[in-house]
């Protein structure tokens, strides 16, 4: 008899959890629709009117609210970057969708991400490819992201603390590389760790000037083609040769 209130409480908590989960799923759907609308508006620049349905489905599954600080949870499904501490940000969802689409992820791919940050982009990639390697230079961010990715059972993500300018040589070469901080140039070690036929997406530009999101493709003969996709604004890639 003493257990009755406890059971009632547990049932209530269960129900609330369900309601919240549904609410977040609904907000993810709305966000997905906003991203699709933006994709159409930016089609002239990006060359794509819509993103791969698999990429959109991955965004609709990934719980962005789990990757932001508690105070930001109400904004987790707004289409904008949010602060995650240490002067860093979780990228705008539209940019996450665009960058993910640009690397054309395939289920058998091994992908390297530079700039783990919150771990959100790594989770989106983990929904789409076999193995994700991600490097973060700020240790507490890497620790927090690793914890969230583990709590959410993303078993195919490996996180490392270090300077991503130099890539992750032991784990390479990679089918795709995604850099989520702005570099002054495309780091040569990353080019070396990209497979022939591989794609790299990277914002390049000075800190307070316009940066451009670049798509770099390595041809089968090792030569590179580079396409400018969109002006963007990212936090700077630190590290590298001084
Ligand atoms: N992809 C992240 C966005 C991170 S913002 C997400 O989904 O949340 C960019 C991140 O790059 C920051 O956390 C910053 O600390 C990190 N960073 C900057 N320079 C770096 C470097 N040289 N190596 C690895 N990470 C770096």
Active-site residue, 91 included: yes
Q: How far apart, in Å, are the Cα atoms of 234 and each of 57, 60, 139, 167, 182?
A: 25, 23, 19, 19, 5
Instruction: Provide the pLDDT for residue 34.
Output: 98
Q: Does the CB atom of residue 77 touch ligand 1 within 6 A?
A: no
Task: Report the pLDDT value the prediction gives residue 207, as an integer from 0 to 100.
Answer: 72
Does residue 239 form part of some domain? no
State residue 22's pLDDT score: 75
pLDDT value for 206: 81
**Residues spanned by the domain of 180:** 3-232
Per-residue pLDDT of the chain (242 residues; tens, 9 = 90+): 455 666 655 555 555 556 677 789 999 999 999 999 999 999 999 999 999 999 999 999 999 999 999 999 999 999 999 999 999 999 999 999 999 999 999 999 999 999 999 999 999 999 999 999 999 999 999 999 999 999 999 999 999 999 999 999 999 999 999 999 999 999 999 999 999 999 999 999 987 778 999 999 999 999 999 999 999 999 999 999 97
Q: Look at residue 209 in the predicted model and tell me its pLDDT.
A: 77
Q: Does some domain include residue 222?
A: yes
Other CB atoms within 10 Å distance of the CB of residue 1? 4
241 located within any domain: no
Question: Which ligand 1 atom lies nearest to the CA of residue 89?
Answer: 5
Instruction: Compute CA distances 92 → 34, 96, 158, 212, whole Å.
Output: 12, 6, 23, 15
| CATH code of 159's domain | 3.40.50.150
Does some domain include residue 242? no
Question: Among 32, 91, 118, 223, which one carries the catalytic annotation?
Answer: 91
Q: State in Å: Cα 181 to ligand 1 middle.
A: 6
Domain count, the chain: 1
Asked whether residue 238 is domain-assigned, the answer is no
Ligand 1 atom showing the smallest separation from residue 141 Cα:
13
């Amino acid at each position: 008899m003493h257990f009755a209130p406890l059971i009632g409480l547990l049932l209530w908590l269960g129900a609330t959890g369900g309601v919240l989960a549904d609410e977040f799923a609904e907000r993810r759907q709305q966000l997905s629709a906003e991203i699709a609308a933006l994709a159409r508006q930016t089609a002239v620049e990006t060359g794509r009117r819509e993103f791969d349905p698999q990429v959109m489905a991955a965004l609709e599954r990934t719980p962005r609210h789990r990757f932001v600080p508690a105070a930001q949870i109400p904004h987790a499904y707004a289409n904008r970057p949010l602060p995650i501490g240490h002067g860093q940000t979780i990228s705008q969802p539209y940019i996450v969708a665009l960058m993910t689409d640009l690397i054309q992820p395939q289920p058998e791919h091994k992908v390297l991400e530079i700039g783990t940050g919150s771990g959100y982009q790594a989770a989106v990639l983990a929904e789409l490819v076999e193995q994700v390697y991600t490097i973060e230079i700020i240790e507490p961010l890497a620790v927090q992201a690793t914890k969230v990715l583990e709590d959410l059972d993303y078993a195919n993500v490996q996180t490392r603390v270090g300077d991503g300018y130099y890539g992750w040589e032991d784990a390479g070469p990679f089918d795709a590389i995604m850099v989520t901080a702005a570099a002054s140039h495309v780091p040569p070690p990353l080019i070396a760790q990209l497979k022939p036929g591989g794609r790299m997406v990277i914002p390049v530009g000075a800190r307070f000037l316009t940066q451009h999101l670049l798509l770099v493709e390595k041809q089968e003969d090792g030569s590179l083609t580079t396409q400018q996709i969109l002006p963007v604004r990212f936090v700077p890639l630190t590290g590298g040769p001084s």
